[in-house]
Chains A and B, each alone.
Chain A
Amino acid sequence: MAFDSDILIVGAGLNGPALALALAQGGLSVTVIDALPEAARAQDRFDGRAYALALASMRLLKAIGIWGKVHAQSQPILEIVASDGRAGEGPAPFFLDFHHGEIEEGPMGYMLEDRYLRGAFLDAMAAEPRIATLSGETVVAQETDATGVIVTLASGRTLRGRVLVGCDGRRSGTAERAGIKRTGWDYGQTALVCAIGHELPHNGTAHQFFMPPGPLAILPLPGNRSSIVWSETHANAAAIQGLDDAGYLAALRPRFGDFLGEITLEGERFTYPLNLTIATAFVAPRVALLGDAAHGVHPIAGQGLNLGLRDVGALAQVLVEAKRRGEDIGAIDVLERYQIWRRFDTTLMAAGTDAVNKLFSNDNPILRLGRDLGMGAVNALPGLRRRFIREAAGLTGDLPRLMTGRPL
């Protein structure tokens, strides 16, 4: 039976298109299937969502030809300030202040609005002859044979590929149909996400305040605007989300402080219940999971998309190298190379963000003193500081080639 494409990708959010472009540029044919109609994904109005792209992620976007289209709309992160605080008290005396001048690579990352990234992906996929897109289609069944994998769509159409990649999020149907179980837990917190306009300039500084109910991040957007990610207990978050805009801002102001002057809401308000969900395997015969489908982590350090793009870089490299060797790209020993590469890093990141969150989302005075002293110590030691900055920029670990800015 013939192949419709080498690769079938389920999910055209952000990781799916990034993978499709990387693979197509490496010589593989790709079909991307998404449940949403294209029009729903291609809106150019600012809805309040934005991403903190680590430097390594920016390099990957550059290598697959996306960065040039969104660069002008991005805001470089020049400085990261992390501090401990309690609502109404302002920051604790000890805090971490990382400046991009301390590493040679340039800004630690970039803020980019969702609408620009999605728009650039849709245009680039449409222009790539090796990519076919099926919008408004859901997968209802999948099965493997000796050399391929066949998916059945709700419309009754079937597609056959050599590898099926699930980029279909935390409740991945691809994982479920492949019999891959998940593990994880609830954090008891909900993230409130919005964008604000403010009176005073942010100067490219990202702030992270560690508050007892959960962290509050203020991430700079172009102009006098910032993206806010703010975690509260489920009950608090539901109450705050239920307020009108004036009430919402009144709840935000004391947590935020007044260093950016008067604030106003821009775009919509979103809530995301925070939980950790990790697939017990990232691969199965002829199936690979990527991004949130493999691992949904706490967004405390903005690492969700960055981890997903690392998966993209690793899986694209494994598959393109295997194709160039003449290997069967869906063979389990080929797919396991991706799993071995990504699983350790992912587990470390999940455990790390979880530990940071548990340590900081706590009003215990001893923990508070301990973490203030710890932050002061890190701030004083240049070697450790550079290590933290490079970690935040995504420059540590075994980087996929695309993340160093080189083509496959």
Chain B
Amino acid sequence: MQAAETTVNPAEVAKFEAMAAEWWDPNGKFKPLHMLNPCRLDYITRQIAAEFDRDLSAETPFKGLRLLDIGCGGGLLSEPMARLGAEVVGADAAPRNIPVARIHAEQSGLEIDYRHTTAEDLAAAGEQFDIVLNMEVVEHVSDPLTYLAACRQLLKPGGLHLCSTINRNPKSFAMAIVGAEYVMRWLPKGTHEWSKFITPDELCQLLEQAGLKPVDRTGFVFNPLTWGWSLSSRDLSVNYVTASVKPA
């Protein structure tokens, strides 16, 4: 990892700095993620606090917890988790995201272990975590069950797995593909394949097959009037998140 950094040439670094600025611009290319982020973070922080009995008003409430952020991108979730005191490993299968995330973490004064790797490889290497964040990834993998089994393997007994994705129904097709990719141009066309979307029941079934115990499911709901996202215990029709634990 350190060796990789020293072989990066200055032109590459400048390019990655520009990409980091792009990732972290709240009104830039990743605006939809920035808009969703407070809502995702509310869910993640509350679930972790509840599972590990932490007080969110403390200075660094997640101190002592080891967390893996799969599909970390520019570090939009890894950085908040590190700021709350967690020991964070950020993994991304896209190699170019890693130097970008590293540069931004350094600018933010945060220590985060970013790696170009996959959940399967980390599991094979015997890595263990208290928490695995698996946000907006499962709809992009070829074999969800194998992937979720790797996530379970990465957890310590009693560990927490948070997994968000997109439901599969006519409304989610309209919102996530027609709306987000074609009308709003929030996401590049072809970002999502509707047939890969998973219903909450299917996901919970897959989680159980992978050896995890689902404990919560919650919707992320976009309100076009306030132009913001909120959590809903009833509306899981488009974006939703699940919490599951690895039995001790």
Which residues of A approach B to under 8 Å, CB–CB? 26-27, 146-147, 321-322, 324-328, 331-333, 336
Contact = CB atoms under 8 A, between A and B. Distances in A.
Contact of B109 (A147, A326, A332, A336): A147
A26 B57 contact: yes
Nearest to A326: B80
A146 B41 contact: no
Contacts of B83: 326-328
Given A147-B108, A147-B109, A333-B26, A326 B79 contact: yes
Contact of A332 (B26, B37, B45): B26
B18 to A, nearest CB: 15
A332 B27 CA distance: 10
A130 to B, nearest CB: 10
B107 interface: yes
Interface in B153-194: none
A322 B79 CA distance: 13
A241 to B, nearest CB: 48
Contacts of B58: 27
B56 interface: yes
Contacts of B108: 146-147, 328
B59 interface: yes
Given A331-B26, A333-B26, A333-B34, A324 B57 contact: yes
Candidate in B34, B38, B79, B107 with the most chain A CB atoms within 10 angstroms: B38
A322 B26 CA distance: 15
Contacts of A328: 79, 83, 108
Candidate in A26, A322, A325, A328 with the most chain B CB atoms within 10 angstroms: A325
Interface majority SS on B: helix, strand, loop or mixed? Answer: helix
B84 interface: yes
Contacts of A26: 57
Interface string B3-46: 00000000000000000000000100000001001100110010
B81 interface: yes
Contact of B57 (A27, A326, A327): A27
Contacts of B107: 146-147
Nearest to B76: A327
22 contacts: A26-B57, A27-B57, A27-B58, A146-B107, A146-B108, A147-B107, A321-B38, A324-B56, A325-B38, A325-B41, A325-B42, A325-B80, A326-B79, A326-B82, A326-B83, A327-B38, A327-B41, A327-B80, A328-B83, A328-B108, A331-B26, A333-B34
A51 B137 CA distance: 55
A332 B58 CA distance: 24
Interface of B: 26, 34, 37-38, 41-42, 45, 56-59, 79-84, 107-109
Which 9 pairs show the lowest CB-CB distances between chains A and B? Answer: A326-B80, A333-B26, A325-B41, A326-B84, A27-B57, A326-B83, A324-B56, A146-B107, A147-B109
A379 B109 CA distance: 60
A332 B59 CA distance: 22
Contacts of B82: 326
Contacts of A322: 38
Contacts of A332: 26
A328 B41 CA distance: 12
A146 B103 CA distance: 12
Given A27-B57, A27-B59, A146-B107, A326 B26 contact: no
Contacts of B56: 324
A6 to B, nearest CB: 10
Contacts of A27: 57-59
B81 A326 contact: yes
B111 to A, nearest CB: 14
Contacts of B84: 326
B175 to A, nearest CB: 23
Contacts of B79: 326, 328
Contacts of B37: 327
Contacts of B59: 27
B20 to A, nearest CB: 11
Contacts of B45: 324-326
Nearest to B109: A147
Nearest to A329: B83
Contacts of A327: 37-38, 41, 80, 83
Contacts of A326: 41, 45, 79-84
Nearest to A320: B57
B112 to A, nearest CB: 12
B27 to A, nearest CB: 8
A308 to B, nearest CB: 25
B146 to A, nearest CB: 31
A322 B84 CA distance: 11
B37 to A, nearest CB: 8
A325 B42 CA distance: 6
Given A27-B57, A147-B107, A327-B38, 11 more contacts: A27-B58, A27-B59, A146-B107, A146-B108, A147-B108, A326-B80, A326-B83, A326-B84, A327-B80, A332-B26, A333-B26
A339 to B, nearest CB: 13
B46 to A, nearest CB: 9
B142 to A, nearest CB: 32
A83 B126 CA distance: 79
